[in-house]
Structure 1
């Protein structure tokens, strides 16, 4: 199971895994922007592309563990700080940990086996990590996912039912949105901005706590881990101070919503991206040789089943699709793409045989934009491509 989050949301994916009692792992990837808002004026407001990923591990439709793509140990160490656990593994011990899909999980089990933490603390840490990961995932609207069915992450300390988590966190995500724009991201860093006003308005004990945590180095997400609270509870606690401008929230290389078109850079370099779906390698090579010298980016896909998922990542401006393919007919490919919001308006040109009147009628019925008869000349291909890309770019204000 794989696809794009614009077609099926995380909540539905999790429900399908639970209903099917699946065992394996879900990988989710999203692209956004880094926003670097430093306290000093130098280098402020710098946007950099960021790629985020998460893994969710399942056993019989229940969650075992969740991790971020980088899988560093800082998340667990943040929780250990809450429990005042001072002892850690040495670098040599960490290096000797068994190879696993989640080194972070292996580290947690090593702490447990060495009696540095007990099962109750380990279970609480896993619960917190699952909660914060699902909060991030259920906030996503764009990205790609792959569910790989396979052996479960082992050993298991405990498992969590999906439905209660999703119900609770979905509500939290809605409440989180109400804090915008004052609070935008769990990765924002609180900083005291009006200490004089705070001194006259708050009890000394409260001010000391704010001074301790609002150091410009500790993110809201870290603060939630240190206090062993969910991110919404922490955000609501500081919200009044942010509203009064007594606290300022700044970014330090964190994620913000991406406001530019994903294809902007591409269209600045190419006249358009064209994907050709045809199981005949020679056709793909021919189309490539005709289109690339004219400034188009041409990509040939020979497996129609794989192509259905790849086109969501490639986001082509126009699709050429052969009708007669062994694994999946072009009609089916076209119909599936047309059921997708992402490809409702994308020009889809069907490649037909010489005597293809019936083919053309069927192609029209499943939503094909036009057809091109094989064999075709260079001029015929370029004319039909230019015709529909000019229309598309004109309508989009290009």
Structure 2
């Protein structure tokens, strides 16, 4: 199931998934609307992507953009978890599709957080994703039937979530034009006036949070509140010109300042010997290659690192390569990324089938190392690393 958001809205799409009790994941991506204001008055500075995982019509987890464990750290501050700064190493203990989810599961497994805290964190993260998605009217989506995200911490009914988020979006509209996006940063405009009109404890709190370094959404996470509730609390100060919202370009600048990197290649095949051989050959050829034997894990990796080329086996146990290829071709981000199908047959019909699902080329197993490198050079030699 795939299509465009101008044909069906996110809420209706979620209701269909719930009604059909479907399991798998939904990939949503915005169109290239940089700098435009969408109908909910949230500025989209760059293309965004989301993943939502389902089990039997219920939501398991959701993530926006690159999987970022710092979101979890914000909640660890709120719950006053001891030595939370050292907990990041726990992310490596899990082989989860989404590193952020693996980090959360490791914290739970090590009894650093309680099951109730884990559920509350996931609920907040899922709510944030749905809040963003409910504002979208342009973009594309693709639903893939696959094994569910494991191990499961909790599940949420879609109907109750959508009702709550719909009310939040209505409340959010009332804050415009003072507040336009959860990604804006509150800053103080007149500290002297603030101090003369408010109690000192309130002033101190505003100084701490409205420092131009903490986004509205991050502030909500640190306070364990939903974004709209926090925005409503700040709103009166903005009306009195004591606080204003700004957009920060810090993250964008840090991305632009990164030096050119090696081309990244992902190799997906549930045959361990095949992907390890490809990985070794590509490393020797000067490429940054990642071997993945789980198709579901590969989806998370593709979503996070945005590879410059993908090798993908045609037939796998959990998720076929043609399904992965078709899904990626529905995404504007990966529409032009070279995808080379790894097949076990030299038959012409298999090559045609690979082309039909959008593959760039076809490589029949077994193959020689020089065949592999010739194909990689063909598609990456004149192509810069993915930015």
State the TM-score, normalizing by the size of structure 2.
Answer: 0.61
For the residues of structure 2 that align with 1:254 and 1:33, how far apart are their CA atoms? Answer: 17
Given the alignment of the two structures, is residue 210 of structure 1 paired with residue 206 of structure 2, yes or no? yes
- Residue 142 of structure 1 deviates from its aligned partner by 1.0
Question: Given that residues 189 and 218 in structure 1 are in contact (C-alpha distance below 8 angstroms), is that contact kept between their aligned partners in structure 2?
Answer: yes
Question: Given that residues 104 and 118 in structure 2 are in contact (C-alpha distance below 8 angstroms), is that contact kept between their aligned partners in structure 1?
Answer: yes
Bigger radius of gyration, 1 or 2? 1
Q: Which whole-Å deviations, capped at 9, do the CAs of 1:235-266 have from their partners, x for residues lacking one?
A: 000001111111011101399xxxxxxxxxxx
Indicate how the Cα distance of structure 1 residues 212 and 240 shifts in structure 2: closer, same or farther if over 3 A, else same: same
Given the alignment of the two structures, is residue 183 of structure 1 paired with residue 179 of structure 2, yes or no? yes
Indicate how the Cα distance of structure 1 residues 182 and 197 shifts in structure 2: closer, same or farther if over 3 A, else same: same
Indicate how the Cα distance of structure 1 residues 200 and 90 shifts in structure 2: closer, same or farther if over 3 A, else same: closer
Question: Given that residues 87 and 116 in structure 1 are in contact (C-alpha distance below 8 angstroms), is that contact kept between their aligned partners in structure 2?
Answer: no
- Residue 311 of structure 1 deviates from its aligned partner by 9.2
Runs of 4+ in 1 over 3 A off after TM superposition: 88-96, 309-314
The residue aligned with 1:22 is 22
SS, match of residue 18 in structure 1? helix
Given the alignment of the two structures, is residue 113 of structure 1 paired with residue 109 of structure 2, yes or no? yes
Q: Which whole-Å deviations, capped at 9, do the CAs of 1:256-284 have from their partners, x for residues lacking one?
A: xxxxxxxxxxxxxxxxxxxxxxxxxxxxx
Indicate how the Cα distance of structure 1 residues 13 and 51 shifts in structure 2: closer, same or farther if over 3 A, else same: same
Given the alignment of the two structures, is residue 103 of structure 1 paired with residue 99 of structure 2, yes or no? yes
For the residues of structure 2 that align with 1:169 and 1:79, how far apart are their CA atoms? Answer: 20
Given the alignment of the two structures, is residue 10 of structure 1 paired with residue 6 of structure 2, yes or no? no
Q: Which whole-Å deviations, capped at 9, do the CAs of 1:188-226 have from their partners, x for residues lacking one?
A: 111110111111211111111111111110010011001
Q: Write out aligned runs for 1:361-380 (5 A).
A: none
Q: Write out aligned runs for 1:40-51 (5 A).
A: 50-51=46-47
For the residues of structure 2 that align with 1:246 and 1:91, how far apart are their CA atoms? Answer: 37
For the residues of structure 2 that align with 1:254 and 1:32, how far apart are their CA atoms? Answer: 20
Residue in structure 1 matching 2:122, options 98, 116, 126: 126
Question: Given that residues 34 and 253 in structure 1 are in contact (C-alpha distance below 8 angstroms), is that contact kept between their aligned partners in structure 2?
Answer: no
For the residues of structure 1 that align with 2:101 and 2:331, how far apart are their CA atoms? Answer: 32
The residue aligned with 1:385 is none
Q: Write out aligned runs for 1:223-372 (5 A).
A: 223-253=219-249
The residue aligned with 2:285 is none
- Residue 86 of structure 1 deviates from its aligned partner by 3.1
- Residue 24 of structure 1 deviates from its aligned partner by 0.3
SS, match of residue 47 in structure 2? strand
Q: Write out aligned runs for 1:31-70 (5 A).
A: 31-33=32-34, 50-70=46-66
For the residues of structure 2 that align with 1:74 and 1:142, how far apart are their CA atoms? Answer: 29
For the residues of structure 2 that align with 1:313 and 1:71, how far apart are their CA atoms? Answer: 19
Q: Which whole-Å deviations, capped at 9, do the CAs of 1:106-131 have from their partners, x for residues lacking one?
A: 11010111111111111111111111
Indicate how the Cα distance of structure 1 residues 183 and 105 shifts in structure 2: closer, same or farther if over 3 A, else same: same
For the residues of structure 2 that align with 1:144 and 1:250, how far apart are their CA atoms? Answer: 29
State the TM-score, normalizing by the size of structure 1.
Answer: 0.59
For the residues of structure 1 that align with 2:113 and 2:63, how far apart are their CA atoms? Answer: 20
Which stretches in structure 1 are left out of the alignment for 5+ residues? 36-46, 256-305, 315-398
Given the alignment of the two structures, is residue 146 of structure 1 paired with residue 142 of structure 2, yes or no? yes
Q: Which whole-Å deviations, capped at 9, do the CAs of 1:78-112 have from their partners, x for residues lacking one?
A: 111110113345665433431x3211111101011
Indicate how the Cα distance of structure 1 residues 92 and 104 shifts in structure 2: closer, same or farther if over 3 A, else same: closer
Alignment RMSD (CA, Å): 2.8
For the residues of structure 2 that align with 1:92 and 1:311, how far apart are their CA atoms? Answer: 35
Q: Write out aligned runs for 1:192-207 (5 A).
A: 192-207=188-203
Which stretches in structure 2 are left out of the alignment for 5+ residues? 37-42, 252-324, 334-387
> Aligned residues, how many?
253
Question: Given that residues 189 and 244 in structure 2 are in contact (C-alpha distance below 8 angstroms), is that contact kept between their aligned partners in structure 1?
Answer: yes
- Residue 171 of structure 1 deviates from its aligned partner by 1.4
